Amino acid sequence: MQQFLDLLTLPPVQRSGVALLLAAIALPIVGVFIVGLDIVAVRFAVMHVALLGIAVGFLTGLDPMLCGLAACAIAGAGVAPLAQRPSGLPGAMGLLMTFAIAGALLVLSVSGVNATSAFELLWGSILATRPVDLVVLAVLAAVIHLLFWRYRRPLALLMFDRELALCSGVPARLLMLVLLIVVAVAIGASIRLTGALLVDAVTILPALAARNLGHSLRSMVLLAVSFGFAGNVCGFALALALDQPPGPVLVLVAGAFTLVTYLLPEGAFNASTAARQDDDRDLRGAVPADSLRQ
Amino acid sequence: MTGSPQPVVFRRVVCRYGRSIAVKRVDLTVSAGEHVAVTGANGSGKSTLLRAVLGLHPLAAGDILVGGESANGTSGWMARRRNVAWVPQRLTPGRFPLLVDELLGSAIDCDVARDSAGDLGVAGLLRRPLHTLSGGQLQRVFLARALGCIAGGAGVLLADEPTAALDFAGQEQVAAMLAALPATVIVVSHDRAMSRTCDRIAEMAAGRLRIA
Ligand SMILES: Nc1ncnc2c1ncn2[C@@H]1O[C@H](COP(=O)(O)OP(=O)(O)OP(=O)(O)O)[C@@H](O)[C@H]1O
Ligand SMILES: [Mg+2]
């Protein structure tokens, strides 16, 4: 125990702890967007886009990391027009990934940059978190929360049905554009910060768990953040206690939480909603649905 | 605030799906406050025609005017969609849950939408996700939302088979509700109660429109 507490006093451990907490409150929301838009392949696509950006950075002598993030933002904006077709986005992600891999390999080869060094820049490690990384994460977290809480009604409509959103006066095209840019940049930055493996643990796994239990966009986001938080805290503590690398341990812990939600019987979580429904009926004094239909 | 009913004019409207033509040079003038029922065989282009009014399907030729104006550009379409309440024929089942209350909240006047949900007997379902409703309940919720849009200023109602999933009492009730609506109404319906309460019946056959 003493040894465990001693570990917590080390600055790198503290920094990675803060990074994981920041990630836990923001990235699961991105995960909910990803699941809602049915673009789980986005993380692979974005990873290769970031690699392409980094390669361009090496080639031009600009900051490779910034180039990587800029490439993510451009790619996010670039696929947005494809979202106008109902099934356009999931397919677009596969296409984007293929293009990005090819582009990255070509640019790396042309520039003579060693592919491994480009990859190394991309594959971060949570224990190597620098103070500047924390700033990036904090800004990202703020933007994501602002986007969600400010626009959650239009977002809920947009993810439910694009046409319905359009008919309700939601500027669907603009909102989708912003959404895709935020998703792409968040994924790109978190790959860099937490390593590719951890992106799933803090982004997609909590969202999948939340989808199994939530009934609305809002409840899903709250559940996803709770799952992300619980997974990160437990996983990180366990990794320190066992003296093992945090990445794999975190993924296993978050994965176990998610697995449990698949095993719960469907509707196990509905009891509270059903009770609330009856409240609604009483409060409004409305006629129960069935009596009018006789 | 209630808007005033607006005329809807179709001028030689043509809609295509790739090479096949779903709507063939349709001309129709619906004056302000008039109620028109559109009938016709399955696949004759009724839904496509209504969706074109909202810009959910592009026009290959011709024009559609609401309140004397055709819609252009993003802001033009925004104004058009605000002006036209819509009851879709079917819902693409979303991957994502949306609560009944959130759907009603997207009406221009959500209070009227919620009250109408009470009138239509679905007030007890506000906290339920849409995908857990029965077909008839879902149609009642969409009708309530459309009534909220009309109350909030939309001057036109487009309803695509709004009573197809309703029980007999529901069909009578909705027909009476729409008949009393202070708006221009174009309703696709195969239901007698509905066509009786309309001023005119138009029939579509293989993409062409005929006034009966
Ligand atoms: N997405 C699509 N792609 C290709 N063809 C389509 C598509 N949607 C509709 N169609 C075709 O266009 C024609 C008109 O369809 P539409 O939905 O407007 O018919 P409808 O009159 O509303 O029929 P129903 O009474 O069954 O609702 C049909 O022949 C249909 O098969
Ligand atoms: Mg139809």
Task: List the domain boundaries for chain B.
Answer: 8-211
Task: List the domain boundaries for chain A.
Answer: 2-286
A166 reaches B (C-beta below 8 A): yes
Residue A292 has pLDDT above 70, yes or no: no
In whole angstroms, how far apart are CA B56 and each of A153, A162, B48, B50, B88? 21, 10, 9, 9, 11
Of chain A, the percentage scoring pLDDT greater than 90 comes to 27
Interface test mutation site (partner B, options A35, A87, A160, A220, max chain B beta carbons within 10 A): A160
CATH of domain A2-286: 1.10.3470.10
What is the per-residue pLDDT for A270?
A: 55
Ramachandran assignment for B173, one of left (phi > 0), alpha (psi -120 to 50 degrees), beta (any other): alpha
State the DSSP H helix or E strand holding residue A190, giving kind and residue range, or none if neither: helix A172-194
What does the block give as tokens for A149? 């809480």
The beta strands (E) that lie in chain A are given as: none
CA gap B48, A7 in Å, rounded: 66
What does the block give as tokens for A270? 């509905």
Q: Kindly report, residue by residue over A81-111, the tens digit of the pLDDT.
A: 887 776 777 778 888 888 888 888 888 788 7
A293 reaches B (C-beta below 8 A): yes
From A19's Cα to the closest Cα of chain B, the distance in A is 30
Q: Do B106 and A153 touch (CB under 8 A)?
A: yes
- Mean pLDDT over B82-105 rounds to 85
- Mean pLDDT over A125-153 rounds to 88
Q: Report the nearest atom of ligand 1 relative to the CA of B44.
A: 21
Tokens 């077909």, located at residue: B135
- Mean pLDDT over A217-246 rounds to 90
Using CB atoms within 10 A of its CB, is residue B11 exposed (0-12), middle (13-18) or buried (19+)?
Answer: middle
Q: Report the nearest atom of ligand 1 relative to the CA of B49.
A: 18
Q: Residue A281's pLDDT band (boundaries 50, 70, 90)? A: very low
- Mean pLDDT over A49-55 rounds to 85
- Mean pLDDT over B32-36 rounds to 91
- Mean pLDDT over B63-72 rounds to 88
Q: Kindly report, residue by residue over B121-139, the tens digit of the pLDDT.
A: 898 899 888 888 888 899 9
In whole angstroms, how far apart are CA B82 and each of A126, A163, A167, A241? 49, 13, 7, 59
Ligand 1 interacting residues, C-beta cut-off 6 A: B 17, 22, 40, 42-48, 89
Residue B152 has pLDDT above 70, yes or no: yes
Q: Residue B212's pLDDT band (boundaries 50, 70, 90)? A: low
Considering the domain delimited by B8-211, tell me its CATH architecture: 3-Layer(aba) Sandwich (3.40)
What does the block give as tokens for A154? 């239009």
What is the per-residue pLDDT for B188?
A: 94
Mean of all residue pLDDT scores within chain A = 82
